Chain A
Amino acid sequence: MATMTFADALNDAHRIEMRRDPNVFVVGEDVGIYGGIFGVTKGLLEEFGEMRVRDTPITESAFVGCAVGAAAAGLRPVAELMFVDFIGVCLDQIYNQGAKMRYMFGGKARIPLVLRASCGAGIGAAAQHSQCLEAWFMHVPGLKVVMPSTPADAKGLLISAIRDDNPVVFLEHKLLYATEGEVPEGECTVPLGKADVKRKGEDVTVVATAAMVPKALAAAETLAAEGIGVEVVDPRTLLPLDEETILASVKKTHRLVVVHEAVKFAGPGGEIAAMVAEKAFDYLDAPILRVAAPFSPVPFSPPLEQAFIPSEERIAQAVREVVGA
């Protein structure tokens, strides 16, 4: 184990896979000379050279589509979309082309592609550089959607994503890049589609994603002092969703709060809540609550932005509500 930041853990995963498999290459805006706008790809150009670390013009449709085409032709691209908000200018290449080629072609194509993107609010980047759009991708059969919360998960999940033969959208919350944690050294994988129980508890299940996981854990600590045991489940992969782990937790605690930074309406929490209602309704002792962003674009001014992002206190309050405290 080594202590490293979330960004360095992702960098480590790139290096491990690029050393292991010559068909893995990185492509995107400012991934080479600059080392990635959040530093995730720093040093890769020096180690692997220009053919494998491709700086592109500002041309998301071309480089995301190029990655899809290269994957179809046998390579394993890792494309970096600087901000997930930019998906709007290149969405067709991932959701109509990459995601559907295998199915449309009757199972005769393989698209081993990772599309990494930063997401999330909290740095004053406003409405077009701060969104959490995971629900958009969850709605596309053929994609996998990953959203890690710790450096160790980030590394292990990225290695798994690169080795996966499907297009994987890998979402990195930008407030997590600088967070530190223990990370296994060398090759380590975290399977896609497997949730992790980040904290055990008996009274309430809190399913939280990305930057909401540390907040949910902090809230759990506060609530423990009030005598409420919170179990924090991090799905880590939203598609495919590890229903089993979430259901097992709910069947134990009988209460569910879902927390995410995406807007609440038609967000990922709606799907999780519906799944639990369909499959474990009889186990529930209280209505399912969702803690999420309000239905607005992400605002700029700090007090507005803080009002937008779900807080530790809002999470704690929702938990108190479902236990009737």
Chain B
Amino acid sequence: MSITREKLVDAYTTMVKIRTFEEHAAQLFAEGKIPGFVHLYVGEEAVAAGVCATLRDSDYITSTHRGHGHLISKGGDVKRMMAELFGKRTGYCKGKGGSMHIADMTLGIMGANGIVGGGPPLAAGAGFACKYLGRDDVAVCFFGDGAANQGTTHEAMNLASCWKLPVVFVNENNRYGISCSVDRATCVTDIADKAAAFDMPAVSVDGNDLMAVYEAASEAVERARRGAGPTLIECKTYRQRGHFEGDPAGYRSPEEVAEWKAKDPIPRLEKKLLEMGVLAEDRIREIRAGVLAEVEEAVRFAEESPLPDPSEVTEDVYA
């Protein structure tokens, strides 16, 4: 399935928005305005934007500790996201979750997740609910190369395959689980090969190529919607920054980082869109300015919002 021009522009805008959000988060974290820690999605934007371009609001996603890109791509509000990073009461989780636990159940965002491999069983459950209720919605499970070796991931893929659940497993192979390179973490070259154990269709794509991600996701989502079961898509990409902000990332060579930065998904798509005549330079400037204004407004909103009151600590434990 080839992507429409309108969707290309939307996906490009989403990718720029993710990058802009993350760059602001990095700066604000460095300034000490964001407590805790943040894991940024810089360099992986084509994965979330490409996959979520195939989804609708009623579809579900489960995310990871590196979740900002997924949330923005699924329609998350950057104001409430930024406020949550700041621990403010106006944040998505009223300051109770932070970067690693942002969710928006009204958009099917079942939460970022602090546990590597925590999301796949939940995605199977959301997919099961869709099937049970006779809805043609799907659940997309984003997980990293680290989570690809967790038992929960394999159990969830097996169950989804046995039960023909409408789930799309999207592996973001960014090559590192903190310092452990994927070459030291698994013996297969392509994580997609792991799907063979579940007789699940699988494909490995260039995760820095928006169109490749979109095409693979379209096919997988369509398969899930018509009841033909789950798919594994491996998106080969790269985490341009450290595992978390402040990680000096001494475990990888400057040459390797430079090589991947040259494959940055955003300039790549931009070049393609210019060549295709989908976007002109002035329109790109407009998009970038619009996104910058939106993120700056989100930062202002977060900075000006009130902190939670200490009395709220025990609220929302039970329904």
Interface residues of A (CB under 8 A from B): 25, 51, 54, 56-57, 59, 61-75, 77, 92-93, 96-97, 101-112, 141-142, 144, 164-166
Which residues of chain A come closer than 8 Å to B74, judged between CB atoms? none
| A interface SS class | mixed
Cβ–Cβ contact B159 & A63, under 8 A: yes
Cβ–Cβ contact B159 & A101, under 8 A: no
Given contacts A57-B162, A65-B121, contact A106 B156 (CB under 8 A): no
> Which 5 A-B pairs give the minimum distances between C-beta atoms?
A69-B125, A65-B121, A107-B316, A73-B129, A106-B93
Cβ–Cβ contact B125 & A104, under 8 A: no
Which residues of chain A come closer than 8 Å to B103, judged between CB atoms? 101, 104-105, 108-109
B159 nearest CB neighbor, chain A only: A62
Which residues of chain B come closer than 8 Å to A73, judged between CB atoms? 60, 110, 125-126, 129-130
In the assembled complex, B47 has its CB within 8 A of some CB on chain A: no
Which residues of chain B come closer than 8 Å to A166, judged between CB atoms? 318-319
Query: 17 additional contacts, CB 8 Å, given A63-B121, A105-B92, A106-B92?
Result: A57-B159, A61-B151, A65-B121, A65-B152, A65-B156, A67-B125, A68-B125, A69-B110, A69-B124, A69-B129, A72-B122, A73-B130, A96-B115, A102-B316, A105-B111, A109-B105, A166-B318
Shortest distance between the CB of A286 and any CB in chain B (Å)? 34
Q: Which one of A73, A93, A108, A166 has the greatest number of beta carbons of chain B within 10 Å?
A: A73
Which residues of chain B come closer than 8 Å to A102, judged between CB atoms? 316-319
Which residues of chain B come closer than 8 Å to A165, judged between CB atoms? 319
Cβ–Cβ contact A97 & B319, under 8 A: no
Which residues of chain B from 268 to 319 have a CB within 8 Å of any chain A CB?
A: 315-319
Cβ–Cβ contact A62 & B158, under 8 A: yes
Cβ–Cβ contact B94 & A92, under 8 A: no
Cβ–Cβ contact B120 & A104, under 8 A: no
Cβ–Cβ contact A70 & B125, under 8 A: yes
Cα(A106)–Cα(B319), bound, Å: 11
Cβ–Cβ contact A69 & B121, under 8 A: yes
Cα(A324)–Cα(B129), bound, Å: 59
In the assembled complex, B123 has its CB within 8 A of some CB on chain A: yes
Cβ–Cβ contact A103 & B115, under 8 A: no
Shortest distance between the CB of B186 and any CB in chain A (Å)? 19
Cβ–Cβ contact A65 & B122, under 8 A: yes
Cβ–Cβ contact A65 & B105, under 8 A: no
Given contacts A66-B124, A70-B125, contact A108 B105 (CB under 8 A): yes
